[in-house]
């Protein structure tokens, strides 16, 4: 049986290639990693996800040879590193583990300086790098440089862990459940921060998690692994959600695949609808006229800068008693920015007045609205595209089969 995860031509250059990688432990009948071949494209976050004991961590730790493979080859950046000096190899690969493992007896600056010192950078360059990295992870160098790890919160330690892993400017990063030990609210924020950071630095990242939701959110590509690190499916999150390759994958994704898909697209990716709006200071009669022309029950009041101010319905106007528009009706809740995920938008609009989420740009200027029909349509669209892709893939396979059969007597 083959155990191969390759990528098609649309992906970038292959940064990491594992070839027939195998790890056996003495006294254990089955290999922990069973002849795995896996291609990891440059600049992508590839997630290894699977139930505990499936070999995902072992697989990741063989890339920087914390665990030595029994057989097979590891190729990083077109170089066979299977027998290279492991310390030299590791200095070129960022490494973040769940417990972070900051050195408690060293200051934050000393922690971050570890790899640059090993690489022999001069003191001035190291100093500048420490400040730059602390800024990158939104921690003020002046405040945090000379603190010790015990003086930081869990979230701050995690940030320093990422900064430390980036310190030698490695092309490749390995992350083993990096957000695993953090409370859910902080985790969400750190995940978003990390994605923003990755959009700038474009590292090739191998990321291990057991949490399929995290995999879908963080991954450009996901390898779902079964026992022995056997690839059940290696594909983009969209494809995995839409066309699970086996019952194992479907079970692992669990119920609510459609809901999970909401995390994949963002408000800016779907068209916005317009809603009747009126400027602050408009005569009540004009507002009523605007409402009558639309099929909506309320108008959105905007101020001079086009920032949403109030929801005003016809009933509110009748009861206004001459009060201005910004003192009647309801405040505009459920305001989202274009980079919010559809999941965020849906979450907001479910509880909102008039069941819509108001979309504003970074300055707070009104852009349009998103409603449930919209989100529904977007999901249907995604599913159609992904199904078509899955079918095209199947058709190709069948053609190959026919060709093979044609040549055999």
**Can you spell out the DSSP letters for 80-122?**
E-TTS-HHHHHHTEEEEETT----TTS-HHHHHHHHHHHTT--
Residue position matching structure tokens 């430390």: 164
Token pair of 397 as six digits: 């396979």
Binding test (CB under 8 A) with another protein, winner from 43, 51, 72, 101: 101
Rule CB under 8 A: choose which of 100, 232, 253, 325 binds another protein. Answer: 100
Q: Which of residues 15-44 bind another protein (CB under 8 A)?
A: none
Here's the x/- map for another protein, 152-171, by CB under 8 A: it reads as ------------x-------
Min separation Cβ 18 and another protein, Å: 18
For β-strands 308-313 and 298-302, DSSP reports them as antiparallel
Q: Are strands 221-226 and 45-49 parallel, antiparallel or unpaired?
A: parallel
CB of 71 to another protein, least distance (A): 22
**b/e per residue, 99-121, with b = 16+ CB within 10 A?**
ebebeeeebbbebbbbbbeeeeb
Q: By C-alpha distance, which of 209, 186, 260, 155 is closest to 45?
A: 209
Binders of another protein: how many residues, by CB under 8 A?
29
| Residue with smaller CB distance to another protein, 64 or 313 | 64
Residue 143 within binding range of another protein, rule CB under 8 A: no
Toward another protein, which CB reaches closer, 37 or 114?
A: 114
CB of 54: closest distance to another protein in angstroms?
20
Angle at 337 between CA 335 and CA 338, to 5 degrees: 135
Work out whether 68 is an interface residue with another protein (CB under 8 A): no
Rule CB under 8 A: which of 47-66 touch another protein?
Answer: 64, 66
Cβ-based nearer residue to another protein, 88 or 355:
88
Q: Does 365 bind another protein (CB under 8 A)?
A: no
**Residue 325, interface with another protein (CB under 8 A)?**
no
What gap in Å lies between CA 96 and CA 118, rounded to an integer? 18
Determine which residue in the list 32, 115, 162, 182 makes contact with another protein, applying CB under 8 A: 115
**Which residues make Cβ contacts (< 8 Å) with residue 369, sequence separation at least 6?**
272, 273, 274, 275, 300, 356, 357, 358, 359
Whether the CB-CB separation of 5 and 231 falls below 8 Å is answered with yes
Which position among 118, 257, 280, 288 is part of the footprint of another protein (CB under 8 A)? 118
Question: Is residue 145 part of the contact set for another protein (CB under 8 A)?
Answer: no
- Long-range contacts of the stretch 333-338 (C-beta < 8 A, 24+): 334/358, 335/308, 335/359, 335/360, 336/267, 336/360, 336/370, 337/267, 337/361, 337/362, 338/266, 338/267, 338/268, 338/367
**330 three-class SS:** strand
248 makes contact with another protein (CB under 8 A): no
Closer to another protein by Cβ: residue 51 or 101: 101
CB of 173 to another protein, least distance (A): 11
Q: What are the distances in angstroms from CA 282 to CA 187, 251, 306, 313? A: 45, 56, 14, 14
| Cα–Cα distance, 2 to 232 (Å, whole number) | 11
Q: Confirm or reject binding of residue 149 to another protein (CB under 8 A).
A: yes
The answer to whether 87 contacts another protein (rule: CB under 8 A) is yes
At 39, give phi and psi (nearest 5°): -110, 135
Q: Which of 16, 44, 49, 95 binds another protein (CB under 8 A)?
A: 95
CB 213, min distance to another protein, A: 25
Of 97 and 225, nearer to another protein (C-beta) is 97
Closer Cβ to another protein, 151 or 376, answer by number: 151
Region near another protein per CB under 8 A, out of 46-54, 144-152, 231-239, 293-301: 144-152
CB of 211: closest distance to another protein in angstroms?
20
Residue closer to another protein (CB basis): 164 or 260: 164
Binding site for another protein (CB under 8 A): 64, 66, 86-91, 93, 95, 97-107, 114-115, 118, 148-150, 164, 174
């Amino acid at each position: 049986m083959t155990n191969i995860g390759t990528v098609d031509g649309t992906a970038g250059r292959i940064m990491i290639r594992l070839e027939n990688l195998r790890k056996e432990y003495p006294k254990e009948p089955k290999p922990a990693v069973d002849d795995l071949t896996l291609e990891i494209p440059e600049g992508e976050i590839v997630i290894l996800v699977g139930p505990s004991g499936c070999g995902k961590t072992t697989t990741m730790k063989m890339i920087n040879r914390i665990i030595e493979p029994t057989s097979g080859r590891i190729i990083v950046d077109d170089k066979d590193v299977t027998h290279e000096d492991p310390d030299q190899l590791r200095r070129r690969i960022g490494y973040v583990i769940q417990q972070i493992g900051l050195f408690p007896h060293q200051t934050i600056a000393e922690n971050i300086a570890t790899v640059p010192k090993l690489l022999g950078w001069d003191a001035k360059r190291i100093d500048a790098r420490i400040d730059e990295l602390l800024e990158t992870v939104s921690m003020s160098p002046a405040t945090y440089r000379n603190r010790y790890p015990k003086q930081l919160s869990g979230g701050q330690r995690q940030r320093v862990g990422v900064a430390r892993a980036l310190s030698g400017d490695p092309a490749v990063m390995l992350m083993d459940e990096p957000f695993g030990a953090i409370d859910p609210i902080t985790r969400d924020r750190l995940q978003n921060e990390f994605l923003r950071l990755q959009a700038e630095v474009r590292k090739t990242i191998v990321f291990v998690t057991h949490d399929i939701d995290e995999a879908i959110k963080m991954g450009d590509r996901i390898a779902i692994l079964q026992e022995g690190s056997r690839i059940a499916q290696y594909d983009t999150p969209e494809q995995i959600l839409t066309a699970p390759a086996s019952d194992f994958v479907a079970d692992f994704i669990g119920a609510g695949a459609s809901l999970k898909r909401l995390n994949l697209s963002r408000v800016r990716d779907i068209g916005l609808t317009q809603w009747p709006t009126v400027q602050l200071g408009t005569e009540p009669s004009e507002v009523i006229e605007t409402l009558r022309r639309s099929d909506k029950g309320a108008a959105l009041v905007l101020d001079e800068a086009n920032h949403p101010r109030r929801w005003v319905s016809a009933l509110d106007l009748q009861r206004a008693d001459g009060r201005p528009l910004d003192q009647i009706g309801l405040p505009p809740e459920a305001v989202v920015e274009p980079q919010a995920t559809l999941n965020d938008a849906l979450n907001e609009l479910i509880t909102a007045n008039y069941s819509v989420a108001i979309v504003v740009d970074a300055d707070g200027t009104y852009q349009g609205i998103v409603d449930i029909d919209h989100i529904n349509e977007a999901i249907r669209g995604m599913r159609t595209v992904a199904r078509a892709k899955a079918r095209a893939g199947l058709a190709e396979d069948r053609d190959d089969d026919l060709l093979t059969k044609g040549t055999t007597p």
